[in-house]
Homo-oligomer: A and B are copies of this chain.
Amino acid sequence: MDKIEESGALRRAPSQKRSQERVERMLQAATALIEEAGSDAMRMGEVAERAGVSIGSLYQYFPDKGAIVRTLAERYNAEGRACIADGLAGVRDMDGLLAAFGGLIDTYYGIFLAEPVMRDIWSGTQADKALRDIDLRDSRANGALLAEAWQRVAPGASNEDIARKAFLIMSLGEATMRLAISVERAEGDALVADYKAMALREIEAVG
């Protein structure tokens, strides 16, 4: 997770080591500011100041403010996707899938609770078109991972159906997380549990 490769978000790829570190500092500064007051309150001038660079340098690498948020979003997505791929890798039968997926929901919920930046980004996810697209692609990719395991343990079912249902389950999972973190903790826990039961029942129904 060292490279600054993510998407085509960057205006210019820093080729020298010095500038790579500078871009990293910019992202760290942005992260800190989002933690403190949310991405909406994050000011480009502040990001530059905290990173110890000029406004001009910031814009040399990030075409606009949204690009910073998008870059962070894709990093979190990549981590989450790796986590999901890992969790579903060893699944052999339906029971294994149910257990693995149930565990992933709890893990994801824990991450949502613990990561203020991720929370902020996915709360404001609908704000601009580009972020929404990233969100959609993420759900599709995660859905594909789930679908792959699902098809493996339910070979008789329609692949198209499973793919679509997996996509829906992943999208609604994210929606549930967003909902859960915007209510009191106890209620949020219960809502996630309800969602989990619903999702597992849906998976089992096609199995």
| Contacts from A to B (Cβ < 8 Å) | 40, 123-128, 132, 136, 139, 164-165, 167-168, 171-172, 175-176, 178-179, 182-183, 187, 190-191, 194-195, 198, 201-202, 205
Q: B178 near A126 (CB under 8 angstroms)?
A: yes
Q: A205 near B195 (CB under 8 angstroms)?
A: no
Q: A172 near B165 (CB under 8 angstroms)?
A: no
* Interface of A (DSSP majority class): helix
Collect the chain B residues with CB atoms within 8 Å of residue A123's CB: 126, 132
Collect the chain B residues with CB atoms within 8 Å of residue A40's CB: 128
Complex: A171 Cα to B187 Cα, angstroms: 14
Collect the chain B residues with CB atoms within 8 Å of residue A187's CB: 164
Say how far A119's CB is from chain B's closest CB, in angstroms: 11
Knowing A124-B126, A191-B164, the reply to whether A136 touches B182 (Cβ < 8 A) is: yes
A132's nearest neighbour on chain B, judged by CB, is B182
23 contacts between A and B (CB under 8 A): A123-B126, A123-B132, A124-B126, A126-B127, A126-B178, A127-B127, A132-B182, A136-B183, A139-B179, A164-B187, A164-B190, A164-B194, A165-B194, A167-B191, A168-B176, A168-B179, A168-B194, A168-B198, A172-B176, A172-B195, A198-B202, A201-B202, A201-B205
Say how far A169's CB is from chain B's closest CB, in angstroms: 9
Collect the chain B residues with CB atoms within 8 Å of residue A126's CB: 123-127, 178
Collect the chain B residues with CB atoms within 8 Å of residue A194's CB: 164-165, 168
Given B128, B168, B195, which contacts A195 in the complex, CB threshold below 8 Å?
Answer: B168
Collect the chain B residues with CB atoms within 8 Å of residue A202's CB: 198, 201
Most buried by B among A139, A179, A187, A195: A179
